[in-house]
Amino acid sequence: MTQSSAAAVQTSALADRILAAVREVLGPTDGVMPLHEPEFRGREWDYVKDCLDTGWVSSVGGYVDRIEADLARIAGVERAVAVANGTAALHICLDLVGVKPGDEVLIPDLTFIATANAVSYAGARPHFVDSEPVSLGVDAGRLEAHLQAVAELREGVCHNRATGAPIRALVVMHAFGHPCDLDAIEAVTVRWNLALVEDAAESLGSLYKGAHTGGRGRVAALSFNGNKVVTTGGGGAILTNDAELGRRAKHLTTTARVPHRWSFIHDQIGYNYRMPNLNAALGCAQLERLDDMIRRKRDLAARYAAAFKEVQGVRFLAEPEGTHSNYWLNAIVLDDADLESRDRVLERLNDAGYMSRPIWTLMHRLPMYADCPRADLVVAERLEATVINLPSSPKLVDA
């Protein structure tokens, strides 16, 4: 047997073991089991019908006020501002912390495209940094080493020595709902005078050392896309503990209109990023059941963890110590970093009806971001070749 043939046999055996573990958790499927389905078991019909009955379906209405109050309470922050989607939320977050055209913004190379696109919308340039293998979030130690190598403080402002551009902010992303190491990351941002922004799009309901994600950065962004734990169809929110930033967030996302009974006066360039009342109504009903959905998602994660405990060649991605993850998407990590082997496992799972996917293509591999500054990305590159997401809908635990 040739070396390549032996490798193919080993990969096939690994795929069989993984498929058997998934079947043990989820049972058989006679169709396609989606990666993450929305769940409507509460008062969604009642609240949406109320919008239709009263005519309050657009960007003003009681459900918008209510979802903002609910989110602020759940996240334990001063203010929440509901917006059209998570990318819009992140765009405004960058504006609020002073990111300007020509600046650089540090972001993980291992993230969803929206993180990098929001930086571009602000006229800034992404500067990619590495992740660590426990949370998949930004590695604070490697970030510090990278800044020591490429950056300097000039009159209190961090600059890239090679490009001369100010490095204004660091965006961290809580991958799959697992909080990253905020204590260590915050210490780096203080040393280098960087604004900390949390991309908490995937981590609604997740806790870091007992506190909800989204409250450590100056601002944070949430997403309520159809595949998130809580959905408004499409939607997002900005979180902050700074009352003035909250006021500005609301003003910017409502076209910067100065309140008046009839006149349309706008005092700066704003954005029509408002969340419609119809979507907010759906979200209010979803938030009423957040605790139950997270409980069942964590139960599903525990079943995956048990099933994969003795499976050689793979580990289940568990929440980092000191955190309480919503386990938005369950993930496994292959021992061997080989894209071909990863794709064979994905093929086996999807052919069997269990929708599975790889982690995102690294940002620096995309053509529009190929020339952006970046750190050594050895960990992110390994994770790209080894992480696989598995079906994670909360209703799967019911079966």
For position 148, what pLDDT does the model report? 98
Which pair of structure tokens corresponds to residue 294? 């997270």
pLDDT attached to residue 6:
64
Residue finishing a domain among 288, 313, 332? 288
Residue 222 and residue 360 in one domain: no
Q: What is the pLDDT of residues 262-279, one digit of tens each?
A: 999 999 999 999 999 999
Residues 330, 234 share a domain = no
Count of the separate structural domains present in the chain: 2
Residues 338 and 283 in one domain: no
How much is the pLDDT for 11?
Answer: 85
Residues 343 and 367 in one domain: yes
Burial (0-12, 13-18, 19+ Cβ within 10 Å), 359: buried
Task: For residue 323, count other CB atoms closer than 10 A to its CB.
Answer: 23
The tokens describing 70, both together, are 């609910």
Residue 67 · residue 82 · CB < 8 Å: yes
Check whether residue 282 and residue 296 sit in a common domain. Answer: no
DSSP string, 175-227: GGG----HHHHHHHHHHHT-EEEEE-TT-TT-EETTEETTSSSSEEEEE--TT
Q: Are residues 113 and 212 in the same domain?
A: yes
Q: Are strands 207-208 and 211-212 parallel, antiparallel or unpaired?
A: antiparallel
The predicted pLDDT at position 59 comes to 82
CATH of the domain at 132: 3.40.640.10
Same domain, yes or no: 365 and 375 = yes
Tokens linked to 190: 């203080």
CB contact at 8 A, 29 and 274: no
Question: Are residue 190 and residue 320 in the same domain, yes or no?
Answer: no
Q: Per-residue b/e over 222-241, b at no fewer than 16 CB within 10 Å? A: bbbbebbbbbbbbbbbbbbb
Asked whether the beta carbons of 199 and 172 are under 8 A apart, the reply is yes
Provide block-wise average pLDDT over 10 residues at a time, the chain (399 residues).
Answer: 68 94 96 96 97 92 96 98 98 98 98 98 98 98 98 97 98 98 98 98 98 97 97 97 98 95 94 97 98 98 97 97 98 95 96 98 98 98 98 92
Same domain, 146 and 164: yes
What contacts 46, CB < 8 A, 6 or more positions away?
A: 285
pLDDT at 4: 64
| Cα distances (angstroms) measured from residue 44 to each of 64, 113, 233 | 14, 30, 12
Contact 102, 270 (CB under 8 A): no
The verdict on 198 and 51 lying in the same domain is yes
- Asked whether residue 317 falls in the same domain as residue 187, the answer is no
The C-alpha atoms of residue 13 and residue 28 are separated, in whole angstroms, by 20
Last residue in a domain, options 272, 288, 304: 288
CATH number for the domain including 345? Answer: 3.90.1150.10
Q: Which two tokens stand for residue 184?
A: 């260590």
Helices (H), the chain: 3-26, 44-54, 62-75, 86-96, 113-121, 140-150, 182-192, 243-253, 277-288, 290-308, 339-351, 378-384
Residue that terminates a domain, selected from 234, 259, 288 = 288
21 with 65, same domain: the answer is no
**Mean pLDDT across the chain:** 96
According to the model, what pLDDT value does residue 190 have? 98
Domain holding 310, by residue range, is 3-38+290-398
Would the pTM count as exceeding 0.75?
A: yes
Check residue 10 and give its pLDDT.
83
